[in-house]
């Protein structure tokens, strides 16, 4: 049943009006036939002593209809069905009986459904009108023969929505295997109407019900009968699902020839080309023809995958000149493209234009906060993240991101107290979250609270046994604190075995060797890490080892490079204090 609540409210108003008129007519009729009596006075009111009997709620049609709709608004289908069961007995409107039948079937109340169907029929409903409901009831009780009879009646009626209703019956069936058998028996090429959409719907339904061979047969038959872009596209999807990529591409080419400006078809074909490893062909296909927000998004994704900055810059210029509606739907993408080019002011402007209902609204605000923080607007950045935490309080995934970003920005500021508070607040809600445990552990380590850091990293390894990043973090923390070095060695050996070429793990291993007194091995490992990635902390470690080896000139060169990378490196300042007490 598809009558909206609003349409039923309209009917309620009509019923109320009808009831009031009926009552008034009865009163007037009674007055006309009553014996005459003397008029008491010229001012007496003729209806002054009239008492109109009103039905109790149990027998009040309007009360039952309203109660049924109120139950529906609470999604209490059982109560709604009970109220409509009473209402249809009081009403002469076949629509009320139809509604009652649908609700009874929905709550699997066979007796109430049969009562409603009988009432609906008694009020003049034709068998074809009732066929969908009768088929649903039959399927609900496992009577495949009756369901088939009713579905044949439905689809043979020639009604415009008959095959759509047929599909709804089968989709809603509790026994999907039985529904699939009925689909194959009744939705044959000989019985399906001259409507390509109906053929595609039945093919898709067959695939959904686990009858892939049937779905393919109907898809191929639809191509032969209609030769439309939609039928070629769906048949291509079936081919692709079966692993026949060449066949799928050939069919999509035919679909595009039928509808060359169809952006959905071009996206589908480009996606297929990309999945086949031909990103270049996918990009060429998308670059020509009509452009919309989805086309631009995929073009950008393909260019970003290959780090093709020239194409990304060109896309940014092209998209800025696009139609207003395309730009409006691409504000987040424009912000990303601007950010890639370090056009931070422009990126902020684009992110600010992302609509609240846009699926990228959260990401746009998050990126804005990170840009503001990089610009030195720390207070504004934290304020923006705080607002996100309020706005997305009931959306755990986004809330967690906002919490973690806020905490990590405090950590970047070396404001360890606020970083720890932010991480701990999030961990109260998500106590075993790996990312949050790792972040708080790093905060404790940076603040010199080694026991707390070790505890968090150990907890993380219980949550994610063998996690490489956690093993590296705990191993490095122990090595840096010069404690429990055998345990640190065990952890870092496992990390190295998993990621032998990771510069961060190499740095940890080199620093452990330094703590163990293996200066030459430490220097060799740290130099490799330094060459692989010019990181300030790695450089400080290498410089300190070289200094301890007596190679102070080489150490000083490394320290100078570190100053260029990070003029305010706290690691370098701490190292120089140790080396120049």
Residue in this structure with the two tokens 């629509």, named with its chain if needed: 95
- pLDDT at res. 59: 83
CA terminus-to-terminus distance, the chain: 84
Residue 389 in any domain: the answer is yes
CATH number of the domain enclosing 397 = 1.25.40.10
Residue 137 belongs to a domain: no
Residue 267's CB is within 10 A of a number of other CB atoms, namely 18
Measured between alpha carbons, how far is 501 from 514 in angstroms, rounded to an integer?
Answer: 19
Q: Give the max Cα distance, the chain.
A: 132
Q: What is the pLDDT of residues 61-117, one digit of tens each?
A: 999 999 999 999 999 999 999 999 999 999 999 999 999 999 999 999 999 999 999
Residue with tokens 């439905």: 154
Measured between alpha carbons, how far is 267 from 282 in angstroms, rounded to an integer? 9
Residue 401 lies in a domain: yes
CB 282 within 8 A of CB 295: no
**Residue 108 burial (CB < 10 Å; 0-12/13-18/19+)?**
middle
CA distances to 227, 275, 277, 345 from 245, in Å? 20, 10, 11, 44
- Count the Cβ atoms, other than its own, within 10 Å of residue 474: 27
Q: What is the DSSP string of 310-332?
A: HHHHHHHHHHHTS-HHHHHHTHH
Question: Given its phi and psi angles, is residue 28 left (phi above 0), alpha (psi -120 to 50 degrees) or beta?
Answer: alpha
Helix, strand or coil, per DSSP, at residue 534: coil
Distance of CA 166 to the CA centre of its chain: 29
Assigned domain for 382 exists = yes
pLDDT of residue 580: 85
Residues of the chain short of pLDDT 70, as ranges, are 1-55
- Give the Cα separation of 466 and 546 in Å (integer): 33
Residue 123: both structure tokens together: 């009020």
Examine residue 546 and state whether it is found in any structural domain, yes or no. Answer: no
Please give the Cα distance from 166 to 377 (Å, whole number).
Answer: 60
Residue 225 lies in a domain: no
Q: 395: domain range?
A: 360-462
Residues 6 or more apart whose CB falls under 8 angstroms from that of 398 comprise: 362, 388, 392
Closest CA to 301 of 318, 286, 291, 289: 286
User: What pLDDT is attached to residue 45?
Assistant: 56
Q: Is residue 493 part of a domain?
A: no
Is there a domain that residue 415 lies in?
yes
């Amino acid at each position: 049943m598809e009558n909206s609540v609003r349409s039923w409210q309209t009917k309620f108003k009509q019923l109320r009006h009808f009831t009031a008129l009926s009552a008034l007519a009865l009163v007037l009729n009674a007055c006309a036939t009553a014996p005459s009596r003397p008029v008491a006075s010229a001012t007496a009111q003729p209806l002054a002593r009239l008492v109109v009997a009103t039905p109790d709620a149990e027998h009040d049609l309007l009360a039952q209809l309203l109660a049924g709709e109120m139950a529906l608004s609470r999604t209490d289908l059982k109560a709604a069905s009970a109220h409509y069961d009473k209402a249809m007995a009081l009403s002469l409107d076949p629509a009320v009986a139809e509604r009652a039948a649908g609700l009874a079937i929905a709550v699997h109340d066979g007796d109430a459904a049969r009562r409603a169907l009988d009432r609906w029929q008694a009020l003049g409903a034709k068998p074809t009108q009732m066929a969908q409901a009768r088929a649903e009831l039959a399927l609900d009780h496992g009577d495949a023969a009756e369901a088939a009879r009713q579905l044949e009646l439905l689809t043979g009626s020639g009604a415009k929505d008959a095959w759509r209703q047929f599909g709804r019956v089968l989709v809603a069936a509790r026994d999907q295997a039985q529904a699939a058998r009925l689909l194959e028996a009744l939705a044959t090429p000989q019985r399906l109407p001259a409507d390509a959409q109906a053929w595609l719907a039945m093919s898709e339904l067959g695939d959904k019900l686990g009858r892939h061979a049937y779905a393919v047969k109907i898809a191929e038959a639809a191509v032969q009968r209609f030769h439309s872009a939609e039928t070629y596209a769906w048949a291509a999807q079936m081919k692709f699902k079966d692993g026949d990529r060449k066949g799928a591409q050939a069919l999509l080419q035919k679909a595009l020839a039928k509808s060359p400006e169809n952006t959905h078809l071009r996206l589908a074909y480009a996606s297929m080309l990309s999945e086949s490893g031909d990103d270049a062909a996918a990009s060429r296909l998308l670059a020509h023809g009509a452009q919309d927000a989805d086309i631009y998004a995929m073009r950008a994704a393909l260019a970003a995958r290959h780090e093709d900055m020239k194409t990304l810059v060109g896309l940014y210029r092209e998209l800025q000149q696009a139609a207003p509606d395309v730009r409006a739907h691409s504000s987040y993408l424009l912000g990303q493209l601007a950010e890639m080019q370090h056009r931070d002011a422009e990126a902020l402007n684009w992110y600010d234009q992302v609509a609240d209902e846009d699926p990228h609204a959260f990401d746009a605000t998050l990126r804005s906060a990170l840009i503001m923080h990089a610009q030195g607007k720390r207070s504004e950045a934290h304020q923006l993240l705080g607002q996100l935490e309020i706005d997305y309080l009931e959306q755990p995934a986004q809330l967690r991101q906002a919490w973690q970003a806020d905490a990590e920005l405090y950590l970047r500021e070396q404001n360890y107290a606020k970083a720890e508070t932010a991480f701990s607040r999030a961990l109260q809600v998500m106590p075993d979250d790996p990312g949050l445990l790792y972040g708080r552990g790093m905060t404790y380590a940076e603040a010199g609270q080694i026991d707390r850091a070790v505890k968090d990293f150990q907890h993380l390894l219980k949550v994610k046994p063998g996690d490489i990043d956690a093993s590296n973090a705990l191993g490095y923390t122990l090595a840096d604190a010069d404690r429990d070095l055998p345990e640190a060695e065990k952890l870092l050996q496992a990390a190295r075995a998993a990621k032998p070429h990771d510069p961060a793990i190499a740095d940890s291993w080199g620093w452990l060797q330094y703590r163990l007194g293996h200066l030459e091995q430490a220097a060799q490992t740290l130099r490799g890490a330094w060459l692989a990635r010019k990181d300030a902390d790695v450089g400080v470690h290498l410089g300190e080892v070289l200094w301890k080896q007596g190679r102070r000139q080489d150490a000083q060169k490394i320290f100078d490079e570190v100053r260029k990378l990070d003029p305010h490196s706290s690691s370098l300042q701490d190292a120089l204090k140790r080396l120049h007490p």
